[in-house]
Chains A and B, each alone.
Chain A
Amino acid sequence: MSDERLSVFKTYKLYVGGKFPRSESGRVYEVTDSKGKWLANAPLSSRKDARDAVVAARKAFGAWSGATAYNRGQVLYRVAEMLEGRRDQFTREVADAEGLSKSKAAAVVDATIDRWVWYAGWTDKIAQVVGGGNPVAGPFFNLSSPEPTGVVAVLAPQESSFLGLVSVLAPVIATGNTAVVVASERSPLPALSLAEVLATSDVPGGVVNVLSGRTAEIATPLASHQDVNAIDLAGADEELAKELEIAAADNLKRVLRPQPVDYAETPGIDRMTAFLETKTVWHPTGSLGASGSSY
């Protein structure tokens, strides 16, 4: 008898509505590392998986957007804690996916976890930055406050499979939106493993849904979907982005066009404000007496 263990291969699965289903289509595709060596099979999602993910995201939207900003921050910080615990696994996956040395991959994972913590801190601060009281000529309090847009389809960057992914996903959910993420087509494994982290932290099921497969195939129904409120085209090439933007115009989706980004740099708040809408409320202060305001 040999002492060698049988290998235990991991079955990567989708993450939809807090569960880990296989693709509705039953299809998988081969994922290889940067040198073409087979790593695992990932589910090849169909448009029906996209549809199911949108339903799950819509269902989760009420509770997630209604949660206090402070609570969302705590939940996101918990995700960072869980990521920290799986640092080695992500280092290995990122190294395989992007062809980095172990130490460089570790640096990417560290930056990713820090990015997550950075966004976790923003949940209850973004309103002060982009909202506030407006001076108006009348007896009113006039307040503008940012509100989440709704269900956001996120096409994760194709090259930066983990840091890029978190850099586009975290701002979407930090502001109270729910997300349907289309993982990097060539290297979806870090995204699918991130789903396992999300499932074991306190993020409610459906807030983040992760699909893997052909970006164009999944993104097309998402872009034309009437119940998706916004789409981030970070992972689309120029031609696909144009097509998707046309499809997205039908229900006036918010569209974030692909742009050259260095994900290693501090991101700024643009990705958060991209998926916020401003609600302005006029609140009467009562009549103005002879001596001015009555409050």
Chain B
Amino acid sequence: MAIYLDHAATTPMLPAAIDAYSRQMAEIGNASSLHAQGRAVRKAVEESRELIARAAGCDATEIIFTGSGTEANNLAIKGFFWSNSKKNTIIVSTIEHHAVLDPIEWLAEHDGAKIIYAPVDSRGVINLEALAKIVNENRDEIALIAVMHSNNEVGSLQPISDVVEIAGDIPVHTDAVQSFGKIVFDFAALGVTSATVSAHKLGGPLGVAALILKRGLDITPLLHGGGQERDIRSSTVNAPGIVSFATAVDQSLMNLRDNYFKVNELATQLRNAIKAGIPTAVFNGSSEESLPGIVNVTFPGTKSETLLVRLDLAGISASQGSACSAGVQRPSHVLLAMGISEDDADATIRFSLGSSSTEEDINTVAKVIADVVEKAKL
């Protein structure tokens, strides 16, 4: 039986979310239409918006639905940059997802943006002193600061409230795609200007996500058209996706505490099993301040590509943490930023657990891991 330990890539849809999706698909109507059917769809969308807002600690009007987390990140970054013509500097942490790094690098290549990278420590946590120095030296030039809420590869949580304090009145965007639904995320309490959340990381469907954007703020849209979503994201509203997203959020929040402890316990068991089989294994990331289900581990002297193929052939799905469009594995920029050598980064894989993971999954990995690693040695 296939053992799925790549929940950070995407996690199975919750049955209730599948039901909600199917039910809404059977409903006719464009949420922007004024007639009865349109109003009914609009009502379902707005109720969903309110539910997600409550869960995320924001106002319903602050939620702008998008087609993906990548889109939401692009919208925030390009939107802030383009709507503030006076400031051209963007501060970004070195461990962001490509959906944040690449639009910023694109702006630098094509639109005169200046990037300053904010370093992280060996646990993959942003260095606040260094950040404060960068911000204070460039304060008048900074259009945006982007620091993720938690890292997708190693799981390290970032001190976002401190980042916001350092930023003062500079906008702060946080990519909370990996956090939302797994740990407490409160938009208002954090004080960030914008945040990205996504449905498929918490048991909702693919193809729906949201940018949470402080009310009253006007950023330049990427998509122009019918003026939906505060005129910031035109497109016919994806009602089934949004309703299903809300259902998944509801379930995740209801079970947040139980899932957190369950997943955390399984991850600990997995770490122990790996350590027992391969004493030289090294775990990366912060051991305390971390997402519950991420086990990022280096097996010195191996190649991740070989490890992953061997695991896959043994029916176990893990990943390297990031893959480019052609599927080519590259040493992770996150691990390199944490000061890990290229060889070790290339010998690292990520197991990520979810609420549907079981003790049996862990036992199966425990049985094969020593053999897999031994055979993957160069």
Query: Do A and B come together as binding partners?
Result: no
Binding site for B on A (CB under 8 A): none
